[in-house]
Amino acid sequence: MRRTPLYEEHAARGGKMVDFHGWALPLQFKGIIEEHHHTRSKVSLFDCSHMGEFLLKGAKAMRALEGMVFNDMICLRVGRCRYSSILDTCGGIIDDVVAMKLSEDELFIATNAGPYPRVARTLYRVCGAQDLSPATAKIDVQGPLSRQALIDAGLGEVASLKYYTVCRAKWGGAEIVISRAGYTGELGFELFVPNELAVPIWRRLLEDDRVEPAGLGARDTLRLEMGYTLYGQDVDDSHTTLEAGMGRFIDWDSEFHAKEFLIMQRQMGKYKIRTGVRSMNRQAPRQGYEVFHEGQPVGVVTSGCYGPSVGYGIGMAYVPVELSKPGVRFTAGPKDMEIEAVELPFYKHGTCRA
């Protein structure tokens, strides 16, 4: 397994290491539930150095990218972030990404670990993108006290960052990139730093009594409570943007190679859509559970867990559009667990926009 620059830090704190897309990453430190609640109330650090980072330069490169994504990149304002997906010609999701406009001439893109090889080849071939991943570590600082923790650590630039904005900053004489974003639903920031700065920044932040490290387990429960997708599990190239429930992000006035296919799919209206589902108790619907409606198989659960902040089992499943309305009842799994469709997110008290 590949190791991030923070591997030894995790081992020293007793992190339980697991294989995540070929990377050795901590599943947990003190425990998933404890780390979940700590993130919701204070500040947690997540090592996300397994993710990919790319830099596009110039209008030509951005225009080439626009042919593969469902929204505008050239007109994205400097200092803003934009959620998007790289699509195949049939609307399948090659990867969901966050694009950050660093300057009029520079677009910084964060991608997932699973599809990284395919994405790297595609972005280089189509856009001439520079792959910064091998030299870049990513630390997510998440929780309602994250802004103050970063200011106290010497990164005062975060004080003026609004939700889904980005800036350059300095640490130890080196340039880093900070975005106000995250995967937890709480106020949070993502730090993209040179590999050699990962350990000093990590250690400096952990000097703060409010800050604790957290692993993949808490990251998963936190993102699920918010209804956020995990690439390769909830979304992939076998699901279109519409099926993934991301139609609200599509700029139908932009031109991209999957547009006609998605217009046809939208007009036909016959497809399965990613839908939030909850159980009636603490029992959780699990990935792979078949979903039944009135005794007939209609879909499958893609993610599920107990929601520590909501107190019941939560999950996401692909079901026919006409059955995706809140309140529709289903059964799932080998023991016919009762679940019902609900509006996302499950957890509605996040501080991400605070």
Per-residue pLDDT of 48-100, as tens digits, reads 999 999 999 999 999 999 999 999 999 999 999 999 999 999 999 999 999 99
Q: Which CATH number fits domain 270-354: 3.40.50.2000, 3.90.1150.10, 2.40.30.110, 3.40.250.10?
A: 2.40.30.110
Average pLDDT, the chain: 98
Residue 331 has pLDDT above 90, yes or no: yes
Structure tokens given for 104: 């009029």
Write the DSSP assignment of 16-38 as a string of letters.
EEEEETTEEEEEESS-HHHHHHH
The domain segmentation of the chain, as residue ranges, is 1-267, 270-354
- For the segment 101-144, what is each residue's pLDDT rounded down to a tens digit? 999 999 999 999 999 999 999 999 999 999 999 999 999 999 99
- pTM higher than 0.95, yes or no? yes
Q: DSSP of 143-183, one letter per residue?
A: STTHHHHHHHTT-GGGGGPPTTBEEEEEETTEEEEEES--S
Closest CA to 98 of 201, 219, 179: 179
In degrees and rounded to multiples of 5, residue 338 shows phi and psi of -80, 125
Looking at the domain covering 1-267, what would its CATH class be? alpha beta
Whether residue 314 contacts residue 307, with contact meaning beta carbons closer than 8 Å, is answered with yes
Classify burial at 191, counting beta carbons within 10 Å of its beta carbon; exposed 0-12, middle 13-18, buried 19 or more: buried
Output the CA torsion sign for 19, 83, 81, 106.
Answer: positive
Measured distance CA(92)–CA(26) in Å, rounded: 30
pLDDT band at 354 (very low <50, low <70, confident <90, very high): confident
Tokens encoding 2: 């590949």
Residue 193 has pLDDT above 90, yes or no: yes
Residue 240: band (very low, low, confident or very high) from pLDDT cuts 50, 70, 90: very high
In this prediction, residue 262 has a pLDDT band, given cuts at 50, 70 and 90, of very high
Q: What residues form DSSP beta bridges with 23? A: 2, 20
